Amino acid sequence: MSFTPHGKHLIAGEWVGSDQTFPSEPAHGPVHQFSVGTVDLVNRACEAAEEAFWTYAYTSREDRAVFLDAIADEIEARAKAITQIGSQETGLPEARLQGERGRTTGQLRLFASHIRDGAYLDRRHDVALPDRQPLPRPDLRVIQRPIGPVAVFGASNFPLAFSTAGGDTAAALAAGCPVVVKGHSAHPGTGEIIAEAIHAAIEKTGMPKGVFSLIQGGKRDVGTSLVQHPLIKAVGFTGSLGGGRALFDLCAARPEPIPFFGELGSVNPMFILPHAAKARGAEIGKGWAGSLTMGAGQFCTNPGIAVIETGADGDAFVAAAKDALAAVGPQVMLTNGIAKAYRDGQARFEGRNSVTPVLSTESTGREANPNLYETDAATYLQDHALGEEVFGPLGLVIRVNGTDDMEHLAKGFEGQLTATIHMDAEDAPEARRLLPILERKAGRVLANGFPTGVEVADAMVHGGPYPASTNFGATSVGTLAIRRFLRPVSFQNIPEGVLPDDLQGA
């Protein structure tokens, strides 16, 4: 099944063009033209979403679950075409896109199952105590209710799982919130075909047409108008620290401030404890190189920093990582802009006396070669720029003098999505000392693994203290993600037949 994009926006069930167009920038294959988003389209989509809310928010959990399952079905029905256009636009291999498509449909089906279960509603009931002294207690019931239309910004590095029908969209729709997606210009054709799948599911299940809209491209005014639109009640975002912080500030500056759930970046440090380093330091170094270069390092959980003691064991780790990285050839990056940002990030390291190049390469065009640098803990803590994310296959080794030095360094890290401990059984005392520090720094702490790859499951957290994300109490992966788009409402002395359906008889 082949796919040729028509290049239009989807606004409340209608495919709409605009006066200006922009070309796609595929890694390979044909260039396509896409309509540029406008402020007027944002307004139309938001008004349609608000109108749809009055119906969609009050549908049954089963009806919404059927809708989510139908979206997954429609995506799978377009599987080959999605892989074709996705590979052309991003340069990602077919196997990666097939896996990401499975993750996308899996998220949708997981949320369908989650809302069918109903536990997420967190229903509580305090029965009336009319004879209580000195005052009677009223009948009180509480339940989680949807907050309203949600804006979602597609991510550059995940054209499926974090974009048009990705985790933010799935969670918001599951909660009962219509969604307006600002598509990412890195993969507009992929966004379009996924929007077609959602549109087909809307028609199949009879959902209100304004429950979903996709706006392609557009200048900064489009994103600004979307987060500042008075009908939008929350924003989901995955992207750069600079772009995310700008949108976060706009959300806070609104006459009615709204929550901005942004995932902004992370260096995801790994800590290799002494016994693990001695027993298998070279093995860990080789594994780190594989994780660091997976997908050209274009993962928000890419482990960009490794912390290990000075000495022979640390030397073996660094040598193994260097050899493994040197064997990796150039990889195509998602966009020309991301490739340039990677080169700029490398230049920031090359121009510093505070770091020592271990493997220094040249990257050109849209391709990236891996790079490796080394510094010590004291230097890292004094040079803030060394802790800024470089989106791509660049690693930094930080040498420490003993586990006390390692703990001191750990306390100096900013908020992270993940932190990793590599340990053997004999390292348990040091790990117990390090763990309380890391749990304050990261949303997910793991042992003896690599953080690339985020399991979609009930117990997963993909978020963390700022600047990893803008809301440390939220996650963008896993079923807890639905809580971002719900708020508790208490009903006092409301007659049984008037209560929301999910509270009747509860």
Residue 331 to residues 27, 93, 160, 294, 296, Cα–Cα distance (Å): 11, 11, 20, 10, 6
Per the residue annotation, which of 263, 374, 389, 430 is the catalytic one?
263
Q: What's the rounded Cα separation, in Å, for the pair 292 and 394?
A: 7
Q: What is the DSSP string of 360-390?
A: -----TTEE--EEEEEEHHHHHH-GGGGS--
Residue 49 to residues 52, 54, 148, 179, 250, Cα–Cα distance (Å): 5, 9, 8, 7, 21
Q: What's the rounded Cα separation, in Å, for the pair 267 and 306?
A: 10
Tokens of 165: 């029908």
Q: What's the rounded Cα separation, in Å, for the pair 388 and 391?
A: 10
Given the structure tokens 């706006």, which residue do they identify?
A: 215
Tokens of 302: 């890419």
Residues 6+ apart with CB under 8 A from 7: 17, 21, 32, 33, 34, 35, 188, 192, 216
Residues 6+ apart with CB under 8 A from 392: 296, 297, 298, 333, 338, 341, 342, 345, 368
Per the residue annotation, which of 300, 309, 374, 389 is the catalytic one?
300
Residues 358, 380: contact at Cβ < 8 Å?
A: no
Q: Cis link prior to 138 (omega < 30° from 0)?
A: no
Cα Dmax for the chain: 80
Q: Please indicate whether residue 46 is annotated as part of the active site.
A: no
> What 3 state SS string does 383-413 have?
CHHHHCCCCCCEEEEEEECCHHHHHHHHHCC
Q: Please indicate whether residue 263 is annotated as part of the active site.
A: yes
Q: What's the rounded Cα separation, in Å, for the pair 283 and 294?
A: 17
Q: Annotated active-site positions, please?
A: 263, 300
